[in-house]
Structures are given as C-alpha cells and as structure tokens.
A and B are shown apart, each in its own frame.
Chain A
Amino acid sequence: MTTQSSLFHSDPEDIFAKAIERVEAGEAIEAVLATTPEAMRAELRELLLLITATHHLQRAPVPQPAAPRRADRKAAFLEAAAQMKPIAAAVSTPLQAATVAKAPPTKSSFGERLQNFWYDLQLGFASPNLRLAPLVIIIAAVWLGSFGFSEVADAAAIGDLVYPVKQWVRNQQLSLSSEAARGPVYTENVTKIIEDLTLATTTLSAAEQTTKRRVVKISTELFIFDEMTPDHLVFGPLRVMLHYQPDPNRDEYTSIVMPVTPGKGQQVELTFQILPADDPNAPFPFIIQGRRLTVPEVQLAIGPTPTAEAPAATSTATATATPCVITLPSGWVPYTVRAGDSLSAIAQRTGATLVGLQQVNCLVNTNDIVAGKMLFAPAIQQLNTPTATQPPLAATLTAISTTVLTPSVDITATVTVVLTDTVTVSPTATATENVTSTVTATVMAEVTPSITTTVAVTVVGTVVETPTVVQTPTPPMTVTLTSEAGDSGTVVATETLTDVIDPAPGTPIVLTTETTLETTTTPEAEGTVEGASVTPEGGEASPTPSPTPTLPLPTPTTEASEPPTATTVPEPTLAPTTEPTSKANQEPTTEPPTGESKQGNSGTTTNVALPTPTHTPIPQNHSPLTGG
C-alpha cells in the first residue's frame, strides 16, 4: 500500500495506525486527514495531535546514569540474587536444575574452580567464611544512597530520628541472609543492640546528672527467647525485667504486657526501656525493663545461633561463632559430586533438603561444590515408577538406583542390603492386547574385587513364567513375564543383594541396580475367537515408530533371534498350562476380544501371545520374538 492511498479500511484501528505512520514519516496532519473518511476525521485529528504532542516529549533523550552507578546497581542486584538463592532453591518446587558447574567439556576442573572463584569474588566472597554482614550493610547503604542515610544511620543512637533506619538495616541483614547464616548474623545483631543499649544508658546517666531528672529511652527489637526466670526474661545475654516504671522518677511498676508466653527459641518482638545506669561503669549484663512482648506470627527460620559474648564495659564484643562440624544424620552416606551436579539436584535426588545438605556439609556457599568433591547425603533408594502407556505404545523406562555402602566396622562383614523396588505396571490393556513386562536387573559392583554378590530377583504379581535367577555381577539378568490380555497387575521386583565386604573400612562401594521395565504390546493371532470381528489395524493410533520389523499378521511364527541377554527366556511351550492360569486371572469385565490384528511394537522383546477368548481354549504356541 502506498502512503497516498485512500484509507478505506473498515477498521478505525488500521486507519489510525496508518495515519500515525504517515505523520511520523513527515506528512502534515491535514494532508493525512484529507484522505481519511469524513466520518473519522474529527476524531482522528485530535488523536493525531495528541500523538504529536507526545512526540515532543519523546524527543528529549533519556538521561542515563553514569557507568559506575550502573555497575553498583547491578552488583546490588546480583548480591540480592545470591542471598535469595538458598531460600529460593529450598522453597521452590523441584525444577530441572540447570547447573553452574556444567562447564564445556574442554574445561579442566581447574578452570571450573577458577570460574567458581571468580564468581565468589564477584559477589564479594573471598572464602566461604567471609561474613555476609558488612556487604549487606554496604548494599543497603547503596539503596538508601541518595539520602545519605547510611552514614547517619550507622551512628544513630536509640531515640534518634534515624535509629529506626539502623534497625531496619539490621533486620534486613537478618532476613536476607540464608537460613544457615542467620544464626551468626542474629548474634552479631544482638551484640550491636547491646552496644546501643550501653551507649543509651550512658547518655541517660549523663542527662540525669545535668537535669536532675531521670528519663528513659524506649526501643523495640526482635529477639530469640531463651527462658523466663521468676524475675527476668532471658534473651541470650540480655536480662529483661518483667515490669517497668512508667515514670522513672517514681518507684512504681507496671507489669509487662505479654499476651502470650513465648516458647524457647521463638522470636519475639520486645518493646523495652532503658534507664540511666546506676553505675555507668557497671559491667554488663545490665537490665532493661520490659514493656511489651509479642510473638509475631511470621517467624524467620534461624539456624543455630552461636553464643555471643557479653561485651566488656568499654570495648565492643565480637560474637564467637561455633565452627561448623560435619555431623552425619543417620542414613547419610558419602556422595561424590558428579559433573553437572548442583546442590539442589543432589537434594532432589537424595531426598534431602537443600538447607539440610548445606548445614550438614557446612556449606555456606551453595556453589561450593565441584565434581569429585565428597559430600554427605542420604542414601539414594529411588526408583522411577514407570507406568505403562496406552497400548500400543512401547515404553522403556530405566531406573538406576545406587547404593553406596561404607563398611564401618569389621573387616569381614556381611552386609545384606535388601532393596525392594516396587514397579507397578498397570497396563490399561484391553482384552485384545497382551502386555509384556521385562524386568532387567543389572548389578554392577565396582571398586572392590572381593565382593561376592548374589542377586535374587523375585517377581511377584501376575506372573506367567517364573523368572530365572542369575548370578552376578554380570551379565544383566532378564526376567520376562507376560501378562495375559485383560490383566492388570502389579509387578514387583525384589532384589536382594547379599554382599560380603572385605575391603578396608571406609572404602565406598557402589552398587548399581538397573531396572528396566518395558511394556510392549503383542499382536494377536487372527481369527481364533468366536464372535469376533476381524478388523485390520484396529485401534492403532499410529504405526509403530520403531525400527524393528513389525510383525505381519499374527501367525505365531517363531522368529529366531538371540535374546539380548545371556539368560534363557522361559520355554515357549507353556501354552496349555498357562492358559487356565491366565484365564483364571482374566478380568471378567474384559471385552470380548475382537481378534484385531495389530502391529507389534518394539522393545527388545516382543512376544506373540494369542488372545484368550472367553471360552474356547485353543492350543497356542508361545514363541518369543525378539525384535532388533
């Protein structure tokens, strides 16, 4: 369309858009209006004028902040992200963890370490032991920046106008810290509060000297409650009286307002007052008077709080933090970090919480894991529960469970590990299909040569054939069982691993069991059922995508091919004996088999089994078929 064309669109929106284009291209408004339908002209004129006016505003460029300021803002943002990260990972639903440590294959582990180091440095951490507190104060100061509050606030005393800002900064520190780091931050805060109290009491004393009257300072802070003695409330090094003097010049007391008695370890909000010290040089702890105590509903999760030292009368105290010692909860075993692991992925896989992993392993920085690092985590005993897809699709699900055994005591110890993996297959098979489930258990023992492993696989459920038990460690053992059409059952694979462990205590041993569950549909034999209509290709959603040759119509010919395992698949000629069994198990509600012929799907095993009609027992042949 040319710009000069008459704007005979039916749509005012289009007309408007077109008109804007032309005006922006430089045409005069009146020229554009001339080609507009009469009906729209008045309105369009006003709209275009408005647009033009806004264009004038647009022409003023946006003043950009200076680069250092921008960089500071970005740093503050990344800092906030780093602080939110442990909280985020613990709170969110398990996501597929994209990992930081997943470096391109060419990078060496040294490169990885260097990378992590740079990022720690970026965030201001030189080592995991570096405290968060100073950095957060700086960041908070940056945010408050333009008002210059930060410097003023830091020097604020109780009762000053900006003292609440100082309190706010302190509380931000606490809430922005990770749960594990909050303990030391809280202790540090308490120390600072006590400093403020000390200063306040001194100031009040000086004021009393001058004015000959006693005045109090009142403040409110968040504390963690320890206990209540007959005389005091105890919050760490603080002692709070259970009453206060409304008038400090009179010896009359009002009880503290305390609707709820707090429990040990709870956070409380305490409003208190400080009196002039009787003796300004008296050593701490001095006593403050409690006015009001409430227990807020929202409680911050605060990790273990190290004991703060009471400050000396003149000097500032430093809180002593208990160094973190790795203590294993029961059931936790060594876990070697793999390339591509992240702490949240490990947490998800092992069933631990992210915070738990952090605390047990004394990790301050959740990035502080590299491939090869030894952490501790709960033993993994997970198995994906595969569900059979709607036939005729074939599903192959592999579950790998890894158990790490660490012999701790004797040199020769027999450890029996029983892993019971319940694999539930509930095929929604109709009467026209059979479902074959193949359970392959592979036990691979690593590390120690002197392990003898016996594997017994018991398959419980709607079993047609009894599996063969195979010795380990290799090769993989395949158990094939076939459910008859119409069955829905549970296949339970129980693996019993008995190990005799010989190595030195502490040597980790890895046992991996791999359970593969395959669900395949099997084609039917044709025309053996009464009352059945033979419909070719009935109900098939799509042709099988598998590369294996699809079976032609289901004459139960035996296609000989090697089973993928060294085990023997059970004898095929069990038909007569199994028929009654399967019939007995057959759901009474199955539809009469229609004898539809279906194309076989792949897995590595495809069995041809013939439909079980409701009545006529027909001698059939089971023949195992293995597709490529």
Chain B
Amino acid sequence: MNSIASTFVTSDDTTAFTDLTEKALLESAVNFDERALGELYDRYEARIYSYIYRRTGNESLAEDLTAQVFLKMLEAIRSEKAWHSSFSGWLYRIAHNAVIDYYRQRDRQQHIPLEDTLTTVTTEHNPVVMAEVSLDADRLRFAIGRLTGEQAEVITLRFLEGYSIGEVAEMLDKTEGSIKALQYRAVTTLRQLLQHEGFH
C-alpha cells in the first residue's frame, strides 16, 4: 500500500488550509491545488460516506461510491462554478446520483445489499408504532431511491442522519422553508411508495 502518502497526509503545511473559508478553498481547488483538495476531502469525506451508507446500508459499497463521488468532483470542478452557489449541495447531489446509478445498474435484482446492523427493530420503544409499521432498512432505502434528488437528500439528511432543518438548509443551500416543504413532500411521497409496496 502507499505508505509514503499516508505518512505525509497530515503534514503541518495543511494547517493553514483548515482555516480557509470554503470560498477561498474552492478557488484553489479548481486549479487542483493538492492542499485545497485535501482539505475539501477532509471536510466532506465522512459526511458523504455517512450519507451514502445511510442510503445503501453497505460499508464497502459506501466506500467505493464515496471514492467515486470525489473523482466525479474532480472531473467537474474544472468547469468553475459547476456547483453554483453551494458546494455542499452539489456534492450531495453527486452522491445521490452515484447511489441511484448504482441501483439502476443492478437493475433491481433481488441481490439486495447485505443488511446493516439494524436487523432487529426493537419493539420496546413504542409498541403501537411497531405493530403498525413493517418497515425494514432495505425497503426504506429502496423507496428513498425513488424520490427526487432533493427529496432523497432531505429525507436522508433529516431523518437518517439527524440534521436539523437549519443544518440541512445550509448544507443544500436552500431556505428553511424549502427544506420544510421538501421534507413534507418527501415523506408523503415515501408513504405512498411504501403503501404501494405493502407498507401498511
């Protein structure tokens, strides 16, 4: 493995970059400045990975897709302002598309990814709820995959990742009102999808 790189990845020279605003960082990143790109990677990799993991439930798949997202970012970052006003939102969009493409490629085979740790939905918290809900991670993810990009992002970030409305608004560069509207539309659509699939 590339042990040389891992030794120097946290070189002292990157400290200056951790303080940069994202705007300044992006200005360097479009020119493929390694430190700027490295700093961007550090800032976003965990979140994108987490997001994709939530969407797919598979660790190694999430790793691979995360790598893919950052490669796609490299390809597109050349056209300056590809992300318009929100780099974060753009990156999440790429992540969303990567997940969708992956699922599309598998052509809805029965080859569902390995179930994540949530195998047992506990009934202790709210027996009423549990009795009425027969939802598992797979079906939820599958249904989320059929939402629009924005809806899927909001659902995942709000309810799977647990970010607040304000936080999600910032990450996707939207107003709080838009996020509220999106979450409402997303959840209602999700419900319809799941009903159709025999949720209730």
Contact = CB atoms under 8 A, between A and B. Distances in A.
Interface residues on A, range: 35 or more
A58 B159 contact: yes
A50 interface: yes
Interface stretch (B33-41, B83-91, B95-103, B105-113): B33-41
Interface stretch (A76-84, A244-252, A527-535, A595-603): A76-84
B41 A122 contact: no
Interface in A185-240: none
Contacts of A321: none
A54 B160 contact: yes
A49 interface: yes
Contacts of B116: 60
B34 A46 contact: no
B129 A52 contact: yes
Given A49-B133, A80-B71, A17 B31 contact: no
A75 B161 contact: no
Nearest to A122: B8
Nearest to A16: B184
7 contacts: A29-B128, A43-B188, A71-B6, A78-B5, A93-B80, A115-B13, A124-B5
Nearest to A56: B121
B140 A98 contact: no
A29 B45 contact: no
A74 B38 contact: yes
Contact of B1 (A62, A88, A138): A138
Contact of A65 (B33, B59, B160): B59
Interface stretch (A139-147, A306-314, A442-450): A139-147
Interface in B69-86: 70-71, 74-75, 78-80
Nearest to B46: A64
A55 interface: yes
A60 B191 contact: no
B126 A52 contact: yes
Nearest to B1: A72
Contacts of B160: 54, 57-58
A415 interface: no
A98 B118 contact: no
Nearest to B141: A57
Given A62-B49, A81-B74, A98 B41 contact: no
Interface string A1-36: 000000000001110110010000000010000000
A64 B50 CA distance: 8
B132 A84 contact: no
B28 interface: yes
Contact of A73 (B34, B67, B122, B165): B67
A60 B117 contact: yes
Nearest to B132: A49
Contact of B2 (A81, A89, A139): A139
A70 B9 CA distance: 11
B179 to A, nearest CB: 9
A58 B161 contact: yes
Nearest to A45: B132
Interface in A165-193: none
B167 interface: no
A342 interface: yes
B104 interface: no
Interface residues on B, range: 35 or more
B152 interface: no
A325 B49 CA distance: 46
B30 interface: yes
Contacts of A139: 2
Contacts of B161: 58
Q: What 10 A-B pairs have minimum CB-CB distances, sorted nearest first?
A: A75-B5, A71-B6, A85-B32, A13-B184, A54-B159, A98-B28, A53-B135, A60-B118, A122-B8, A17-B180
Given A49-B132, A73-B67, A76-B67, A122 B11 contact: yes
A118 interface: yes
B190 interface: yes
A392 B181 CA distance: 48
B187 interface: yes
Nearest to A100: B33
B2 A50 contact: no
B144 to A, nearest CB: 9
A314 to B, nearest CB: 32
Contacts of A88: 32, 78
B2 A135 contact: yes
Contact of A77 (B31, B41, B133, B159): B41
A68 interface: yes
A115 B71 CA distance: 25
A95 to B, nearest CB: 6
A49 B129 contact: yes
Contacts of A69: 63
Interface string B165-180: 1000000000001001
B191 A81 contact: no
A56 B35 CA distance: 39
Contact of A46 (B4, B9, B191): B191
Contacts of A82: 32, 34
A344 interface: yes
Given A54-B140, A57-B140, A78-B5, A47 B191 contact: yes
A583 to B, nearest CB: 50
Contacts of B122: 56
Interface string A568-589: 0000000000000000000000
A96 B38 CA distance: 20
B46 to A, nearest CB: 7
Contacts of A64: 46, 49
A151 to B, nearest CB: 13
A545 interface: no
Contacts of B28: 98
B133 A53 contact: yes
A104 to B, nearest CB: 8
B140 A53 contact: yes
A374 interface: no
Contact of B6 (A46, A72, A97): A72
A17 B34 contact: no
